[in-house]
């Protein structure tokens, strides 16, 4: 097995960041290369005292007041510039600890720069609204307006499948709005967050306004839920963990981006030359480990055979394997256990009558891209979130029934439809109970400027800098009565 250890010059700090210093403890965990399984780093876990101290420092900082909005904007712009100068280190870290292909890792850096720039813009645009008191008899002389103030200490708990951009979708809006942030990144991908911490401090973010606490959710995550000075929890992850956080938060505010079974529709009049590459990439990129990955694909029966054949052909061009190979388009799953789980689900579906049109071979943590059809209704690849490189195709004759099927899951994060019929598109938008409905796009299309969030068991609240900053602030009404 070849050595995949990050060069010592690229290895970021392997402790927790508190008040500008990297802190170690006696407890630690290994970080593994997701393709080879080799241990590449040993990271020190935060202790209970570290958690309490980080939150206390953050609370003191935000009570004293954040830098002025323009200064926060300058810091975030500078961070975007530094991200570019450190691109190679971030790409190395993400290909190793997250298993990202080179394409996915570079895309992650590109999007992160956009997110930082958007937050820099919003930092100086965060204003309230005028209140039209003239609508109330006798109140026309009153002058009323709202202002927005930081909510306080924001705790960000982030996933492995977007270790840079999703982290910044929480940290950057929080700071842009004047909050202090305590970040607990995924224990699968701690090194990318440590690199980001270095960049943010170098860019000028005051040390008390950023803590990074490394460790497992069962320990560090639980301790963070016990800290009453945390005013806001922002979380991306499973619905099960989201419910735990929500119960602990009580009346404190939260933003939850949780589980999903994403659906995309292909009508008979769809432009397949446009749709097929989008669907394949959306279902298989990042090894399918995206909450909006195309998992359920509903296809009009009149074009179902052609769509299946073209998807199989396209999937065959996607090399699965070593994420450092420039030819690779589908990298490993986050662990070999995750790959074994996906393999088991695929075999179960096949045993129950599903047709595996291509893929499914597993090599350690890598699974060749899978296109399936005729998956049983009760099959786990159909009714549970797969988080694997597979697309399950189901033909339909009744469009209304297909919409109802997509709505039948407990989740509602994102959906997409390809059609040239405006009436059909508008019906889908009005009927599908999802946080986002994309027309002539897949469920997985996302621009970092847009509001992003789900309904039902997929959570609530919005990401996207403009929207997240309003979630992370308190609105106060000011009224003058001459």
Q: Which CATH architecture has domain 16-258+459-479?
A: 3-Layer(aba) Sandwich (3.40)
The domain segmentation of the chain, as residue ranges, is 16-258+459-479, 263-447
pLDDT confidence bin for 11, thresholds 50/70/90 = confident
Checking if the pLDDT of 468 tops 80, the result is yes
| Mean pLDDT to the nearest integer, 85-105 | 98
Strand order in the sheet with 130-131: 130-131, 143-150, 473-480
The SS3 assignment for 450 reads coil
* Fold (CATH) for 263-447: Aldehyde Dehydrogenase; Chain A, domain 2 (3.40.309)
Q: Give residue 443's pLDDT.
A: 97
Query: In 10 A of CB 211, how many CB atoms?
Result: 29
Query: In 10 A of CB 228, how many CB atoms?
Result: 10
| 386 burial type by CB count under 10 A (0-12 exposed, 13-18 middle, 19+ buried) | buried
Q: Is the dihedral angle over the CA atoms 201, 206, 207, 210 positive or is it negative? A: negative
Between the alpha carbon of residue 206 and those of residues 62, 63, 195, 229, the distances in Å are 11, 14, 16, 19
Q: Which DSSP symbol is given to 218?
A: I
pLDDT confidence bin for 5, thresholds 50/70/90 = low
Contacts of 438 (CB under 8 A, 6+ apart): 414, 415, 416, 417, 445
Q: Give residue 10's pLDDT.
A: 64
The average confidence (pLDDT) of the chain is: 96
User: In percent, how much of the chain has pLDDT > 90?
Assistant: 97
Question: Taking a C-beta distance cutoff of 8 angstroms, is the pair 323, 94 a contact?
Answer: no
* Residue range 199-239, pLDDT digits in tens: 999 999 999 999 999 999 999 999 999 999 999 999 999 99
* Residue range 394-403, pLDDT digits in tens: 999 999 999 9
* Residue range 14-68, pLDDT digits in tens: 999 999 999 999 999 999 999 999 999 999 999 999 999 999 999 999 999 999 9
| Mean pLDDT to the nearest integer, 422-426 | 98
Q: Strand runs (DSSP E) across 237-385, as ranges?
A: 253-257, 263-266, 296-300, 319-320, 328-330, 355-358, 362-363, 366-367, 370-373
Please give the positions annotated as active site: 257, 291
Model pTM score? 0.96
Question: Among candidates 43, 40, 29, 8, which has minimal Cα distance to 194?
Answer: 43
pLDDT confidence bin for 2, thresholds 50/70/90 = very low
Q: Give residue 6's pLDDT.
A: 57
Checking if the pLDDT of 369 tops 90, the result is yes
Q: Give residue 1's pLDDT.
A: 32
pLDDT confidence bin for 409, thresholds 50/70/90 = very high
């Amino acid at each position: 097995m070849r050595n995949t250890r990050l060069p010592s010059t690229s290895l970021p700090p392997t402790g927790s960041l508190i008040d500008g210093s990297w802190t170690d403890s006696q407890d630690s965990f290994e970080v593994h290369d997701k393709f080879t399984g080799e241990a590449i780093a040993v990271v020190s876990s935060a202790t209970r005292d570290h958690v309490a101290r980080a939150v206390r420092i953050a609370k003191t900082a935000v009570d004293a007041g954040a830098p002025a909005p323009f200064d926060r904007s300058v810091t975030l712009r500078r961070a975007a510039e530094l991200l570019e100068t450190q691109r190679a280190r971030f790409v190395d870290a993400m290909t190793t600890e997250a298993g990202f292909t080179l394409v996915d890792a570079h895309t992650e850096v590109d999007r992160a720069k956009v997110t930082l720039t958007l937050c820099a813009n919003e930092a100086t645009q965060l204003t309230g609204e005028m209140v039209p008191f003239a609508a109330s008899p006798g109140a026309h002389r009153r002058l009323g307006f709202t202002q927005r103030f930081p909510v306080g200490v924001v705790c960000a708990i982030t996933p492995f499948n977007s270790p840079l951009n999703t982290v910044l979708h929480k940290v950057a809006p929080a700071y842009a709005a004047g909050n202090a942030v305590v970040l607990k990144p995924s224990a699968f991908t701690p090194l990318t967050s440590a690199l980001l911490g270095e960049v943010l401090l170098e860019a000028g973010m005051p040390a008390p306004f950023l803590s990074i606490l490394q460790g497992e959710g069962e320990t560090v995550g639980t301790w963070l839920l016990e800290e009453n000075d945390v005013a806001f929890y922002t979380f991306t992850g499973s619905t099960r963990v989201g419910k735990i956080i929500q119960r602990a938060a009580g009346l404190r505010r939260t933003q939850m981006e949780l589980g999903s079974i994403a659906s995309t529709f292909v009508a008979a009049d769809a432009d397949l030359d446009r749709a097929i590459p989008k669907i394949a990439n959306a279902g298989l990129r990042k090894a399918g480990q995206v909450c909006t990955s195309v998992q359920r694909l509903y296809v009009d029966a009149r074009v179902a055979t052609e769509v299946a054949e073209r998807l199989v052909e396209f999937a065959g061009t996607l090399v699965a394997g070593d994420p450092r190979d420039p030819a690779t388009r589908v990298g490993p799953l986050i662990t070999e256990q995750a790959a074994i789980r996906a393999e088991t689900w695929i075999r179960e579906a096949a045993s129950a009558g599903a047709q595996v049109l291509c893929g499914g071979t597993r090599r350690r943590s890598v699974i060749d891209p899978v296109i399936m059809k005729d998956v049983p209704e009760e099959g786990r690849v159909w009714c549970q979130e797969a988080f694997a490189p597979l697309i399950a195709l189901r033909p339909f004759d009744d469009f209304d029934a297909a919409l109802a099927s997509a709505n039948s899951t407990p989740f509602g994060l994102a959906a997409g439809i390809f059609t040239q019929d405006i009436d059909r598109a508008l019906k889908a938008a009005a009927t599908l109970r999802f946080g986002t409905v994309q027309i002539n796009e897949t469920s997985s299309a996302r621009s970092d400027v847009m509001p992003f969030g789900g309904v039902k068991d997929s959570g609530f609240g919005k990401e996207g800098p403009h929207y997240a900053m309003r979630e992370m602030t308190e609105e106060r009404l000011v009224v003058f009565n001459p």
